[in-house]
Amino acid sequence: MSLLTVENVTHGFGARRILENASFRLLKGEHIGLIGANGEGKSTFLNIITGQLAPDEGRIEWSKRVTVGYLDQHSSLKKGMSIRDVLREAFQRMFDLEAEMLAIYENMAVAEDGIEDMMEEAGEIQHMLEHSGFYTIDSKIEEVANGLGLKSIGLDKDVSDLSGGQRTKILLTKLLLQDPSILILDEPTNYLDYEHIEWLKKYLTEYENAFILVSHDMEFLNAVINVIYHVNEGELTRYSGDYEKFMHMYNVKKNQESKAYEKQQQEIERMEDFIARNKARVATRGMANSRQKALDKMEVLEKPREKPKPSFQFRVARTPSRAIVEATSLVLGYDEALTKPVDFVLERGQKIAIQGTNGLGKTTLLKSILGQIKPISGTIALGDFLHPAYFEQEADRDNSSTALQYLWDEFPSYTNAEVRSALAKCGLTNEHITSQMRVLSGGENAKVRLSKLMQRDTNWLILDEPTNHLDVEAKAELKKALMEFKGTILLVCHEPEFYEDWVTDVWNIEDWTLKIV
């Protein structure tokens, strides 16, 4: 049974074609992984099927009576609500039914007739509530909230006081509690810690309903999906099986296309050579004309296009002092302390990964070191001759400048060609370069910001979740560049497989926190 049918959908932004005659179907119980390089149109496709974008052409048809839950990359929460308030919204229909039942009981107290009918109606509602688990809602909330790490934050905490990662967890928890017949998840692991990714992996593996998942975490993707849709050059191609099986089939397909193109080109070359040598001779002119007709009718294959591959390299500044950062009795926080007093030294050449549950102060630590946030107490002493380069977690998402202008504003002495070359090295095409930062995908946006860091000499990289949104190739290239970098690195990252084989040490901020984790 098809829950969703998409036929011949075409969509673009200006002159840029994102999807071209794309077709797709979601069957009952399918766990679909929607994959493709940064900027190929995955989030655009999700926005189209959920009605947030209207396609230029094509048809989208949902099966009747399906309920759809969508977690996108940039959802928001209302200030003034507690975590518990937000999560209880997942059961709003049940609360409305309860209010209706209580109103019936109140009417029964003053009614002179019709009491039997009211009693029957109230009984039906009571049965519906019991059958749907209404009276165990709080325990259900606690179970899922604990699985995704919200219980340790405190369910009565105001959502406006939370980090971006914590807010994403809340939205994901609410979505799972709603238990829709179709889940649509756009990079759900971006702000999850390792243990919560494992919990979500188990949840989705056992999930009985259908879902569509966008993720660049290939290990996670491989564990939970049974169908792949690959977005490439505006086309959607369906593959049965997990990610590993897809990669095998895709490579076979690429090799076949490449060989078919080469074989046809050789054939065309032979035919053209024969025609050129024989069309002037009377005895062979007929054969030459026959070959020309065959050549004219031939459907010429397109040369398989190689996608531009990103290449990252950070320019190294002069050697700094031995101590890069020295903290004494440092207490991190905004209005209240997040950590106990801690002492640490970051030395020249060290490559440190900072890990720990979201909301404990990883980003706060980076911003405090850089002087953007004043610590609650304690001192931070920076070394000499430092040239830091800072990559923020989510920046420039609302910037209306094009990628070209964004980089040019930072480096006005560059020529147009130099700016374009710098962006192209990060795997960005002309279409990306001339697009506004706010319409770029998360991965494309990150590549532009990484390009900016690479234009200046630096001896100290401070990177806050740089792998979020990056596709597989870009992550591999970034890892290679960081391994080759001769300076000092302070890295916040939720993917141990990205850093564990090259960092010199791991700082776990859970060892510093005042919270119970």
Please count the CA atoms within 13 angstroms of the CA of 28 that sit on its side-chain side: 5
Residue 170 covered by a domain: no
d(CA 389, CA 387): 7
Q: Is residue 77 a part of any domain in this protein? A: no
Q: How far apart are CA 215 and CA 139, in angstroms?
A: 30
- Any idea what the Cα angle at residue 60 is, between residues 59 and 63, rounded to 5°? 135
Q: Which domain holds residue 348?
A: 323-511
Q: Is residue 431 part of a domain?
A: yes
What DSSP string runs through 38-92? TTSSHHHHHHHHTTSS--SEEEEEEPTT--EEEE-TT----TT-BHHHHHHGGGH
484 and 417, same domain (yes or no): yes
186 located within any domain: yes
289 located within any domain:
no
Q: What is the pTM of this model?
A: 0.77
Closest Cα partner for 214 from 197, 198, 200, 231? 231
- The pLDDT of residue 14 is 67
Q: Are residues 371 and 475 in the same domain?
A: yes
Could you tell me which of 144, 113, 69, 165 has the C-alpha nearest to residue 364? Answer: 165
The owner of tokens 């590993």 is 244
| Residue 485 · residue 460 · CB < 8 Å | no
Shared domain for 237 and 120, answered yes or no, is no
Q: Are residues 377 and 427 in the same domain?
A: yes
**Contact predicate 26/212, CB 8 Å:** yes
Is residue 296 situated within a structural domain? no
CATH code of 1's domain:
3.40.50.300
Under-70 pLDDT residues of the chain: 14-16, 72-76, 164, 396-397, 515-517
Is 17:10 a contact under the CB 8 Å cutoff? yes
Do 489 and 351 fall into the same domain?
A: yes
The total number of structural domains in the chain stands at 3
Q: What is the pLDDT of residue 64?
A: 85
Which residues, in sequence order, are CB contacts of 28 under 8 Å at separation 6+? 1, 3, 210
Write down the pLDDT at residue 90.
Answer: 85
Token duo for residue 421: 């070359």
Question: How many whole angstroms separate alpha carbon 10 and alpha carbon 58?
Answer: 6
Beta partners for residue 32, in sequence order: 212, 227
Strands (E) across 271-387 are located at: 323-331, 342-347, 351-355, 377-382
pLDDT at 459: 96
Domain edge (last residue) among 121, 136, 162: 162
> End of a domain among 230, 254, 270?
270
The verdict on 441 and 407 lying in the same domain is: yes
Is 452 inside a domain boundary? yes
State the Cα–Cα distance between residues 33 and 247, nearest whole angstrom. 13
Give me the residues paired with residue 38 across strands: none
Residues 6+ apart with CB under 8 A from 292: 275, 279
Residues 215 and 363 in one domain: no
Q: In this predicted structure, what is the pLDDT of residue 394?
A: 74
* Cβ atoms of residues 130 and 52 within 8 Å: no
- The answer to whether residues 32 and 106 belong to one domain is no
Whether residue 418 sits in one domain with residue 500: yes
Please tell me whether residues 414 and 356 are part of one structural domain. yes
**Burial 479-502, CB ≥16 within 10 A → b, else e:** bebbeebebbbbbbbbbeebbeee
Query: Which of 110, 130, 162 finishes a domain?
Result: 162
* 60 and 187 part of one domain: yes
Same domain, 220 and 365: no
Within-domain flag for 169: no
pLDDT of residue 74: 56
